[in-house]
Amino acid sequence: CAGGAGSPDRVYAMDVPTRSRMRLRMQSTYDGALHVRSDCANPSSEIACNDDHQDTRHSMVVSTLDPGRYYIFADGFSTSEQGDYSMRADLAPVAGGTAPADRCAAAGTVTAGQDVELDTFAAADDYQASCGGAGAPDTVYRLEVRERSRLRATLQQSEFPAVLYLQSTCGQQASEVACAAIGAGGQTELDTNVQPGTYFLVVDGAAQDNFGAARLEVQLENLQALETACRSAPRLRPGRTVTGDTGTSSDRFQATCAGNAQSNDLVYRLQLTRRSRVVITSEQQYDGALYIRRDCTDVTTEVACNDDEGDNRHSRVETTLDAGTYYVFVDGFANNSQGSFTLDVEVSRAQ
């Protein structure tokens, strides 16, 4: 990796007494690289190599190693990267079992609005879900929900590809409420509606060697407040241009596109009396997004989503919909994209 890593390097020996998980982290002032060999002078004995972990100033290698001596190289990309660096090596039993919040009996606690710093590196593989987690270390967190709510949970700055799942009975896959796969860096969130009660959030790896540190964020929103916004949504009428400004609102709804559309939003209602072809376009003074749902508060009912149509000041969704009521959301890309817009709707008979 790392363009051959032909830059100046330093090598370190590490003895592994028993079969273990290994994690190497390096932070550098240059475009660094890490690689590991079982035979110092033999390039073909390389076990793992990493150039960039989240950015060019960080590298990370994880693996499961048998007992023996290994050689760790602090290196650089291609042939001319060099400078200062710091490096840390960690070993943990391959079976885990020593991490905080490792099992249901010792579950940690997560509270909406209060982040949890976690690390599954030394955790055991106790659980799995419908979207993954078999064979990977996991940690579990108890969550109390006091009112009917929309739950959003995500992993920020995750070192590993993960799955995040919610159970009503800890450790019982049959009680699963929702499950989401989350990429390294935390790009996807678990988003579901829940009734009052006690729940358990499990942070798991997507595969056997997927473990590491992350920050768990949880938000709860009162569903009654969201439903009130949906009931009062203005009706869209084909042929009539709507003007608005999302700066007058807040971030209440999210989408599958546009960086999850976690910006201020406004919602409108579209009534169709028959199966129709629907084209909705918007022009914004910001990086906007458009999406449609069948159920206003249920993210799983999204039927269309668009971020940019030609440029980031225009959005367009085109789809064929059955008769019924739909909800159209004017939103913004990722965070803090808001401002004025115009919205147009065209409805014609479906072919």
Which tops the pLDDT comparison, 187 or 9? 9
pLDDT given at position 331: 97
- Taking Cα atoms as reference points, which of 256, 243, 221, 273 lies closest to residue 339? 243
Residue 81 has pLDDT above 80, yes or no: yes
Q: What is the pLDDT of residue 188?
A: 63
Q: How many CA atoms lie within 13 A of 312 on its CB side?
A: 9
pLDDT digits (tens, 9 = 90+) for 245-259: 999 999 999 898 998
Query: Pseudo-torsion of CA 123, 126, 132, 134, nearest 10°?
Result: 100
Tell me which residue has tokens 């225009």.
314
**Tokens 């890309």 identify what position?**
333
Give residue-wise pLDDT tens across range 91-117: 999 999 999 999 999 999 999 999 999
Average pLDDT over residues 178-185: 81
Determine whether 334 is exposed, middle or buried from the number of CB atoms within 10 Å of its CB (0-12, 13-18, 19+).
Answer: middle
Q: Which helix (H) or strand (E) holds 36?
A: strand 32-37
> Any bridge partners for residue 330, and if so which?
266, 290
From the centroid of its chain, how far is CA 210? 15
Q: Is residue 184 over pLDDT 80?
A: no
Residue of 51, 6, 12 whose CA lies nearest to 32: 51
* Structure tokens belonging to residue 27: 């932070």
CA distance 73 to 81: 14
Give the strands of the sheet with 20-28, arranged side by side. Answer: 58-65, 20-28, 85-93
Which residue has better confidence, 189 or 83? 83
pLDDT score for 187: 59
The two three-digit tokens of residue 46, written as one number: 């390389």
Q: What whole-number distance in Å separates Cα of residue 290 and Cα of residue 126?
A: 40
| Structural domains of the chain sorted by starting position, each given as residue range(s) with its CATH number in brackets | 2-93 (2.60.120.380), 104-222 (2.60.120.380), 233-349 (2.60.120.380)
